[in-house]
């Protein structure tokens, strides 16, 4: 089975990626505050190897407030307040998964370690400026990552929440993988479809049907 290094290593040598990486570095060097820290930009790939991917949860770009982003979609480090979107995700989990109780933190690394790829479409952002790095080249890179999951992994569940995530549906073979779609968990969008979607129990039912170990969503409660 190929690794992220195998499939994304050559991609990092492409001119567009080098330009993107150097642009972010130049902005840091010029004194701008960029999230997440340089060492955490690729955390999603570090914590969930390609061969281990069972579920993909697609986010947009990183949180843009101090200390929140650490390279995993929707996740924040321990000690940081739980963002509104994640509060809503936890609310849906509490309604969907028996035994799920509201966690005291927003760190989702325990999901990543079980095979949940927590991938943002854009991997960096300037402090206080959402979507500020959308045109830097990250989308080309993360689209490549999604395509590699589609090609090299079997029976993966893709959770596409909101319009931006659902634009990635064209990269996924519906005959080989499971796609679950609903509105984004942020703000009013959560009220228009996310609450009650039962995506977490549906994900586990599909994994079990494919003789895979289900995700212990309650791992974040401990």
Which residues carry out catalysis?
Answer: 61
Helix axes 138-152, 15-29, angle to 10 degrees: 130
Q: Which two tokens stand for residue 162?
A: 């909101």
By C-alpha distance, which of 2, 4, 1 is closest to 144? 4
**DSSP helix/strand/coil, 36:** coil
- Which residue stretches of 80-216 are H helix? 84-96, 109-112, 138-152, 163-166, 199-209
- Which residue stretches of the chain are H helix? 4-8, 15-29, 43-47, 84-96, 109-112, 138-152, 163-166, 199-209
Do residues 70 and 76 make contact, with C-beta atoms less than 8 angstroms apart? yes
């Amino acid at each position: 089975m190929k690794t992220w290094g195998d499939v994304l290593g050559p991609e990092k040598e492409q001119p567009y990626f080098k330009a993107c990486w150097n642009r972010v570095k130049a902005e840091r060097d010029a004194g701008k505050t960029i999230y997440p820290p340089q060492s955490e930009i690729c955390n999603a790939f570090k914590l969930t190897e390609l061969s281990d991917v069972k579920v993909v949860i697609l986010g947009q770009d990183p949180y843009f407030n101090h200390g929140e982003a650490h390279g995993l979609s929707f996740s924040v480090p321990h000690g940081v307040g739980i963002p509104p979107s994640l509060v809503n995700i936890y609310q849906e989990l509490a309604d969907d998964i028996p035994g799920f109780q509201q966690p005291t933190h927003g760190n989702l690394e325990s999901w990543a370690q079980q095979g949940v790829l927590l991938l943002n479409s854009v991997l960096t952002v300037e402090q206080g400026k959402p979507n500020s790095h959308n045109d830097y080249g990250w989308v080309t890179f993360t689209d490549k990552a999604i395509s590699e999951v589609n090609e090299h992994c079997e029976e993966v569940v893709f959770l596409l929440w909101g319009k931006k995530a659902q634009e990635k549906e064209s990269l996924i073979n519906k005959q080989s993988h499971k796609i679950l779609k609903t509105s984004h968990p942020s703000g009013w969008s959560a009220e228009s479809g996310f609450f009650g979607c039962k995506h977490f129990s549906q994900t586990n039912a599909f994994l079990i049907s494919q003789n895979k170990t289900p995700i212990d969503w309650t791992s974040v409660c401990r």
